Amino acid sequence: MIDSADIFVVFDHVQFVRKSWQQRNRIKGPNGEIMLTIPVKKMPRSTPICDIEISYDNNNPLENHWKTITHTYKKANHFGDYEEVFRQIYSKKHEKLGSLNVEIIKTICHILGIRTKIVLSSELDLKDSSLGKTERVINLCKKVGITYLYDAKGAKELIDISLFDKESIQVEFQRYEHPVYSQLFGEFIPYLSVIDLLFNEGERALAIMRAGRTQIR
């Protein structure tokens, strides 16, 4: 999705959702998928994503994740090409979940050669807490100057398209046919973390990723 857009907005000023993709992702091990989840501190339910703090109460989760990633992908064809850059990310003691996520996103975009501008909604002073879900997205679009919104497929059930029409903002939802690529450990599993694609396919990763998307506009 980032590669398909001119501007990618990290929607991080809204309420954090526990046990969501905001704090976890999947990789593939010899026994199937492995879910890597970042534990977070107990905070008020209304706490926005940008303020959620990582919990280090039970050892260092980033250190544990890196050990799992290393053990899982050490025999992947291109793990060594990117090992050091990811090691540096996981060796830091990030205080907030959002900063970790954004650093990983920006690092992967740089590796892949994706030059899309990345904006954090928490830095835009939106003052939209009194607005509904759809109105908040519309307000964001106006603030950033977005006239064509490309959103995840699941967002179709959450926003009111008619309100975008009234504001002359076009909306398209992602349609993606996941391409098959070389993986370790047997039968192919789709929709894993992009690091699975990167470690297995290296420089071919972006071309493979693009092969699954439909043309927008």
Return the number of other C-beta atoms located less than 10 Å from residue 168's C-beta. 7
Residue 49: exposure state from Cβ atoms within 10 A (0-12, 13-18, ≥19): buried
Residue 216 clears pLDDT 80, i.e. is over it: no
Instruction: Give residue-wise pLDDT tens across range 107-133.
Output: 999 999 999 999 999 999 898 989 999
Instruction: Give residue-wise pLDDT tens across range 53-84.
Output: 999 998 999 999 999 999 999 999 999 999 99
pTM of the shown model: 0.90
Residue 104 φ then ψ, to 5°: -65, -45
| Domain parsing of the chain, residue ranges | 7-118+175-210, 124-173
User: In terms of DSSP bridges, do strands 148-151 and 7-10 run parallel, antiparallel, or are they unpaired?
Assistant: unpaired
* Residue 129 C-alpha from the chain's centroid: 24
